[in-house]
Amino acid sequence: MLDAFLETMAATPFVDGESDCALTLADWVMVATGFPDPASHLRGRYSTALQRERLVRAKGGLHAVVAECALLAGLRPASQPARGDVGTLRMGRQVLAGICTGQRWAVKSSRGVDVFFPDSVIFAWRVPHG
């Protein structure tokens, strides 16, 4: 299931407010769990990078945005992230939202998807999936 989702993620263009890094995590949570959209309150609220940055800043940063969505989805913390879990990551000075692929993390990007070893995992949430 995760491999098919990652293929779709790679083929889907990055669009602010539709298919960006945080909303892609919410899409994965819906696919994996069948839960309702934990990011429905964010969708359609921004359509440019500047609007996204302002919204994220107003909500306390990307980690706070992802944490709020994880809470709405009923996800539990994952002290040892496993394949399919979601999290916030630090890469240099950037905070990103990604999906664990095992040892690496997949992040929605303008190239489709980037898969890498982050400098650190800020926090991860367990996503129950088949």
> Sorting pLDDT into bands at 50, 70 and 90, what band is 129?
confident
The chain-wide mean pLDDT, for the chain, equals 96
Split into its structural domains, the chain has a count of 1
Instruction: Note down the domain range covering 11.
Output: 2-126
Tallying the residues shown for the chain, one arrives at 130
Task: Give the torsion through C-alpha atoms of 57, 64, 14, 19, to 10 deg.
Answer: -120
User: What does the pLDDT look like over 8-48, one tens digit per residue?
Assistant: 999 999 999 999 999 999 999 999 999 999 999 999 999 99
Report the candidate in 38, 19, 118, 96 with the shortest Cα–Cα distance to residue 10. 19
C-alpha–C-alpha distance, residues 52 and 123, integer Å: 21
Distances (CA, A) of 51 to 6, 25, 57, 63: 26, 19, 10, 17
